[in-house]
Structure 1
Amino acid sequence: MRYLSIVFVAVSLIACDQPEAKEPVEYKGPLREVENMEMFYTENDHVKVKMQAALVYEFLSGDREFPKGVYLEFYTEEGALESTLKANNAYFFKEQNLWRGRGKVEVKNIAKKEQLNTEELFWKQTDQKIYTEQFVTIKMQDDVIYGTGLDAKQDLSDYVITHPYGDVGYQGEE
């Protein structure tokens, strides 16, 4: 009996010296990091979109983060530069196939010489639409429009400002 007591005490002491097993922690950070990325999206052998980013993080979910910003160029079927989009940082939500740009977001329509500025903008690539609920400024050749909220084509060729501010002049024929 005394022998069993000694074995029990020895096993207890050894068990106390063993570190406790911890639960594994699931890694949720980026799986891949890309620097100085330049990517082209083509259709029928024509470049449709050119994307540049200084840093890209790719996650297990397929989401991508662009913490140092993103710059995109959109081209017509004929290969002419149609519009540009840049943002201080961006995020691509793969499941929704949705882009979000933040911080000094700028969209330019080259042909119309118009420019949109806002602090946050969403881009639905499949619909070729951009939208925001934030304050927007649209600079045209002869006028500037301010407002809150916007729904537009990605090239800014057609847009609606949800709540425009100030005088919006009519430039049609009388």
Structure 2
Amino acid sequence: MFSNSLSIRYLHYQIFGKLTTINPSSTGFKCLLFAVVAIGSFSCREDVDKTQLATYEGPYRTSYEVELLHSDSAIVRTKLMADTQLEFKNGDAEFPDGIVIHFYDKEGELSTTIRADRGYMERKTNIYRGEGDVQVHNIEKEQKLNSEELFWDKNKKKIYTDKFVTVEEPDRIIKGTGMEADEGFNEYKFTKVTGVINNVL
């Protein structure tokens, strides 16, 4: 920008080749002043590097006390509940305050529950992921599962994990790494069993 010592009169001399008395109310003065301001504005403006502008990738919508139902033949099959749901532009969702999923049998009775400290859903694959203290409970068979991470593939109707897993049955506890089961946790198989404790009750 022009330095403060550069007066309007001197600028007039540089442009018109002579010093003169300038009337602040004259049209010429106003035009000259406008030119100074315009030139100064252009000279002070820095070019913006568009590559440095950050793209917002956070949630665009937040919902509270969420309850999502999925029914088949007028019977509720699953119910998802969460205190908070963050929705992203690509369709993914996050449940930062925990997630609970209920599964119902053919008669519409609650059969299995899944609980997790945090939940995530990937829209493209329709796969949900639970993290933290993840618990699965088959009410009818009195089977319980604990792990630090669990996936629910809604399309394939199965749950699975490659993390350490503990399964409690009425008469034994099974520990292992990696597990796959139907979404109702009726039948399951371990990738690797590391220990079995029988007759625990």
Q: Normalization by structure 1: what TM-score?
A: 0.87
1:47 paired to 2:76: yes
1:58 paired to 2:87: yes
Residue identity opposite 2:173 in structure 1: V
Q: Structure 2, unaligned stretches of length 5 or more?
A: 1-13, 17-31
User: Cα offset for 1:166?
Assistant: 1.9
Residues in 1 aligned to 2:184 and 2:190: alpha-carbon distance in whole angstroms = 15
Residues in 2 aligned to 1:99 and 1:39: alpha-carbon distance in whole angstroms = 13
User: Cα offset for 1:42?
Assistant: 0.9
Task: Calculate the aligned-residue CA RMSD, in Å.
Answer: 2.4
* The structure with more radius of gyration: 2
Which of 119, 126, 132 is equivalent to 1:103?
A: 132
Q: Deviations over 1:48-76 (max 9, x none)?
A: 11111000000110000000110011001
Which of 42, 47, 69 is equivalent to 1:15?
A: 42
Instruction: Name the structure with the higher strand share.
Output: 1
Residue identity opposite 2:65 in structure 1: N
Partner in structure 1 of residue 106 of structure 2: 77
Structure 1, 135-144 or 33-42: larger mean CA deviation: 33-42
On the 8 A contact 2:157/2:183 being kept in 1, the answer is: yes
Partner in structure 1 of residue 55 of structure 2: 26
Q: Normalization by structure 2: what TM-score?
A: 0.76
SS in 1 for 2:15: helix
Larger RCO of the pair (alpha carbons < 8 Å, separation 6+): 1
User: Cα offset for 1:167?
Assistant: 3.6
Percent identical pairs in the alignment equals 34
Partner in structure 2 of residue 172 of structure 1: none
Partner in structure 1 of residue 29 of structure 2: none
Structure 1, 83-92 or 159-168: larger mean CA deviation: 159-168
Partner in structure 1 of residue 187 of structure 2: 158
1:118 paired to 2:147: yes
1:3 paired to 2:15: yes
User: Cα offset for 1:168?
Assistant: 6.4
User: Cα offset for 1:12?
Assistant: 5.0
